[in-house]
């Protein structure tokens, strides 16, 4: 990294905690800069920015990149980004950039994407032909451009000012064709403008999922990598960016080689994480460890949500849901969605694989894709498991499957395209279809989740944390993101239903599936600001994604008109479950901020933040100028309802832990589960951290870095990690209540105790004179709050 000015507070090489900001024209770099004092006071060390390169005009997300060489002017341009970095640096913060290597926009106007424009103008001989995955023979020598609202003839194609005009779209003309009669002119172009509906079956370029307006980029080509990463690498080398989030790494032909090349370019100090969805038993390839710190954290979200979900109640809800709606179980729903998405929505991708493998093997390719239990296989990784082969083999001959397996081992082009298609299939069939069709407990239908097994035991949670601390200690962890379908606080309220399924009731409405989804969504949102229009918008998206009665491509207007009628006039959790949701909200926040990894707080989520699926969760937030000690926080969709209450309780806890992470990173190393004893032991999640003494790995100047702004150590001073007689030991204990309503029904904590590590322990938040030692009763430990953080205090010889 670029050396910092001597007056700049020291920052860790890797973030202690990040804060995600969604940039857009209404929230540009200048607005982010104005929020810096608040966010620095909150305790994060890095701001994580959504994509900053030039994108489609007006884009609310920035993932539709049009120009890799320029910082987006609508956000303030490169000068604005560098000014934001300077403001952040003066407050002790660094920047993490979200980059999009997999795809670019097919924009309107098309000329905004110069590489694509030039390719379409000059054809396969263009220097830009290597940028994109195009199957020229499949299109008869032309690139299909499914961007028109209707058939070509209805769009009045004509030549004007040296370009082809079809409706409101413009296309480049191949040299020497401008004066030709229209039919011949169209036939001579290197592309064929077409109705958007043709993308399903005739598309001959790789795209992002099923979005034809996003064309895949071949960053595996060294020249393409260099051209598309030059500006980002410049920003890293200049110290503007200190970390990178890699969007949709599964879409790349060779993710491992890409990550190796990226690490070589950015050097050792840049923190890099990848957006990678891992199944429960799946592991990030160990060979990636030299290139990345880990994932963006959906695997952590799955465990966090799961440990606060009651398995018996979730099973009861599943039974009631299937009886009420007539729905199939999760496995059948997921398999049916995978088959439909592959053979309909991704028919063009399946046909491309068939051309590579041979038509006689296309069915076997399809069955293997449908049976794959993870997002994608990786080069050099294990092949299809016996279970996967058995599922696929139930429909196609074993010889055909064997032939496909040989291709996966020996044909690099086929293996890469198979893996890329697998990733698109999993994402579209699970996240964007099955999660909307199977809805017993909506809090479990989240990115990376397993709706068929929504609950995670305390032992599983501990095992996950121990593994992450051992293998990927700097991985990202999240609870809410720009892609989550419901914010963590909405999910906490829905998950509370697993503790008392009777509170779900029998929803009313003409469509049982929609009625169920509407009631749970309404209970999750509660009486949040602008409740009705936000609910209606989210429900309309839900029914279109589910594809049962209407869809994005074939909307049923009559059905969609009655969606709003399913929005409950009022839906609030009963008091006992509202309290259970509050306990879960605080427990989720505490575990997330203290478990192994680098936690990320999504914009506004330091308070009670209730947002639904995008665009609801991507709307701009207004940040206060004052320090976060004041009883307020950012406002926006589902923002805080006022000072005090759960919102302020959560923000106070979040700020206290974030500041502790920033100022005393040595407390957030190691991981040791603590086991309660007694009748309610299973309702407690507890662990110790900071094992190994006062300094983290590598000493005070190693990864984890020095103290943050102010430079001072936290409460108790730097010797707190020393136990009696100066022996090294844990310096931090985390305790959280789970399934609090079930706990209350069972009689409360009663005689349950928690053995603490040796030493004197005092709460991070609470009276300074409170001390605990040895084995403590949980009822006393959690007398004033359902969660606590304990710090080891210097021994006074007592």
Cα separation, 641 vs 358, whole angstroms: 60
Cα separation, 709 vs 762, whole angstroms: 24
607-665 tens-digit pLDDT? 999 999 999 999 988 888 765 664 456 766 654 444 568 999 999 999 999 999 999 99
Cα separation, 787 vs 791, whole angstroms: 14
Cα separation, 672 vs 687, whole angstroms: 5
Choose among 603, 634, 622: nearest CA to 19.
603
Distances (CA, A) of 167 to 96, 109, 147, 173, 447: 41, 12, 11, 16, 38
Q: Are the C-beta atoms of 243 and 274 separated by less than 8 Å? A: no
Question: How many CA atoms lie less than 13 Å away from 34 in the CB half-sphere?
Answer: 10
Q: Are the C-beta atoms of 453 and 307 separated by less than 8 Å? A: no
Cα separation, 692 vs 686, whole angstroms: 18
Cα separation, 135 vs 506, whole angstroms: 52
Q: Which residues contact 298 (CB under 8 A, 6 or more apart)?
A: 277, 278, 447, 448, 478, 481
Q: Are the C-beta atoms of 635 and 619 separated by less than 8 Å? A: no
Question: How many CA atoms lie less than 13 Å away from 693 in the CB half-sphere?
Answer: 10
Q: What's the average pLDDT block by block, 10 residues per block, for the chain (798 residues)?
A: 37 84 97 96 97 98 98 98 98 98 98 98 97 97 97 97 97 96 98 97 96 98 98 98 98 97 97 96 94 98 98 98 96 96 97 96 97 87 85 95 95 96 97 97 96 98 98 98 98 98 93 97 92 95 97 95 91 96 98 98 96 94 71 57 76 97 97 98 98 37 30 34 51 98 98 96 89 96 97 69
Instruction: Give the pLDDT confidence score for residue 795 in this predicted structure.
Output: 67
Q: Which residues contact 472 (CB under 8 A, 6 or more apart)?
A: 284, 289, 293, 294, 295, 597
pTM of the model: 0.92
Cα separation, 619 vs 603, whole angstroms: 10
**Rg of the Cα atoms in the chain:** 27
Instruction: Give the pLDDT confidence score for residue 644 in this predicted structure.
Output: 66
722-753 tens-digit pLDDT? 433 334 689 999 999 999 999 999 999 999 99
Cα separation, 256 vs 253, whole angstroms: 9
Q: Are the C-beta atoms of 500 and 741 separated by less than 8 Å? A: yes
Distances (CA, A) of 314 to 130, 246, 306, 378, 442: 50, 34, 11, 34, 10
DSSP, res 127 = T
Q: Are the C-beta atoms of 721 and 715 separated by less than 8 Å? A: no
CA dihedral 194, 200, 201, 207 (to 10 degrees): 90
Cα separation, 769 vs 798, whole angstroms: 14
Per residue in 256-266, is it b (16+ CB within 10 Å) or e — as a string? bebbbbbbebb
Q: Are the C-beta atoms of 117 and 69 separated by less than 8 Å? A: no
Cα separation, 472 vs 300, whole angstroms: 12
Choose among 492, 477, 404: nearest CA to 443.
492
DSSP, res 722 = B
Q: Is 159 exposed, middle or buried (0-12, 13-18, 19+ CB in 10 A)?
A: middle
């Amino acid at each position: 990294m670029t050396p910092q000015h001597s007056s700049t507070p020291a920052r860790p090489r890797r973030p202690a905690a990040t804060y995600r900001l969604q940039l857009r024209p209404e929230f540009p770099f200048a607005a982010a800069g104005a929020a810096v004092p608040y966010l620095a006071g909150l305790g994060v060390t890095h701001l994580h920015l959504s994509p900053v390169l030039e994108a489609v005009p007006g884009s609310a997300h920035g993932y539709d990149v049009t120009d890799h060489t320029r910082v987006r002017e609508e956000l303030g341009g490169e000068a604005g980004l560098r000014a934001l970095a300077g403001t952040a640096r003066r407050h002790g913060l660094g920047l993490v950039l979200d980059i999009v290597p997999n795809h670019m926009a097919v924009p309107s106007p098309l000329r905004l994407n110069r590489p694509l424009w030039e390719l379409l103008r000059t054809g396969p001989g263009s220097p830009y032909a290597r940028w994109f995955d195009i199957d020229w023979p499949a299109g008869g020598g032309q690139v299909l451009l499914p961007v028109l609202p209707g058939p070509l003839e209805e769009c009045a194609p004509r030549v004007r000012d040296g370009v082809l005009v079809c409706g409101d779209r413009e296309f480049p003309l191949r040299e020497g064709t401008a004066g030709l009669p229209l039919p011949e002119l169209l036939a001579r172009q290197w592309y064929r403008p077409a109705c958007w509906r043709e993308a399903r079956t005739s598309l001959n370029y790789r795209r992002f999922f099923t979005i034809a307006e996003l064309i895949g980029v071949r960053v595996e080509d060294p020249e393409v990598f260099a051209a598309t990463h030059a500006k980002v690498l410049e920003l890293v080398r200049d110290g503007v960016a200190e970390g990178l989030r890699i969007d949709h790494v599964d879409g790349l032909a060779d993710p491992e080689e890409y990550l190796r090349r990226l690490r070589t370019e950015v050097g050792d100090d840049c923190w890099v994480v990848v957006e990678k969805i891992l199944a429960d038993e799946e592991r990030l390839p160990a060979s990636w460890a030299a290139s990345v710190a880990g994932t963006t954290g959906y695997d952590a979200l799955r465990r966090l949500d799961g440990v606060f979900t009651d398995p018996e109640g979730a099973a009861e809800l599943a039974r009631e849901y299937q009886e009420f709606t007539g729905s199939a179980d999760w496995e059948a729903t997921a398999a049916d969605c995978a088959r439909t998405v592959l053979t309909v929505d991704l028919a063009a991708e399946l046909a491309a694989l068939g051309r590579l493998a041979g038509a006689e093997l296309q069915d076997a390719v399809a069955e293997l894709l449908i049976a794959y239990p993870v997002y994608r296989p990786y080069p050099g990784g294990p092949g299809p498991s016996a279970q996967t082969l058995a599922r696929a083999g139930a429909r196609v001959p074993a010889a055909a499957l064997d032939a496909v397996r040989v291709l996966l081992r020996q044909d690099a082009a086929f293996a890469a395209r198979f893996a890329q298609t697998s990733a698109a299939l999993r994402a579209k069939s699970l996240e964007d279809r099955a999660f909307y069709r199977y809805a017993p407990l909506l809090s479990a239908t989240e990115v990376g989740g397993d709706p068929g097994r929504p609950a995670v035991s305390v032992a599983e949670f501990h095992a996950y944390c121990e593994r992450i601390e051992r293998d990927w200690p700097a991985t990202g962890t999240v609870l809410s993101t720009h892609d989550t379908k419901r914010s963590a606080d909405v999910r906490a309220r829905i998950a509370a239903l697993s503790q008392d399924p009777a509170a779900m009731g029998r929803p009313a409405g003409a469509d049982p599936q929609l009625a169920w989804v509407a009631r749970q969504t309404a209970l999750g949102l509660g009486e949040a600001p602008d409740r009705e229009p936000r609910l209606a918008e989210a429900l309309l998206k839900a029914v279109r994604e589910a594809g049962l009665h209407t869809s994005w491509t074939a909307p049923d207007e009559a059905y969609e008109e009655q969606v709003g009628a399913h929005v409950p006039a009022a839906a609030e959790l009963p008091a006992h479950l509202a309290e259970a949701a509050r306990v879960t909200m605080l427990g989720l926040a505490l575990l997330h901020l203290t478990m192994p990894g680098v936690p990320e707080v999504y914009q506004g989520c330091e308070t009670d933040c209730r947002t639904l699926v995008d665009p609801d969760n991507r709307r701009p937030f207004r940040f206060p100028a004052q320090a976060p000690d004041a009883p307020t926080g950012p406002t926006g969709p589902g923002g805080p309802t006022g000072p005090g209450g759960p919102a302020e309780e959560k923000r106070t806890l979040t700020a206290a832990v974030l500041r502790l992470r920033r100022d005393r990173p040595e407390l957030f190393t190691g991981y040791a589960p603590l086991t309660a004893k007694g009748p309610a032991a299973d309702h407690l999640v507890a662990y110790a951290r900071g094992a190994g003494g006062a300094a983290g790995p590598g000493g005070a100047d190693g990864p984890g870095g020095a103290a943050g702004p102010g430079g001072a150590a936290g409460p108790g001073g730097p010797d707190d990690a020393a136990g009696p007689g100066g022996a090294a030991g844990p310096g931090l204990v985390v305790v959280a209540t789970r399934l609090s309503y079930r706990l209350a029904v069972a009689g409360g904590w009663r005689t349950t105790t928690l053995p603490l590590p040796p030493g004197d322990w005092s709460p991070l938040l609470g009276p300074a004179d409170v001390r605990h030692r040895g084995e403590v009763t949980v009822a006393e430990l959690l007398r004033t709050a359902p969660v606590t953080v304990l710090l080891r205090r210097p021994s006074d010889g007592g």
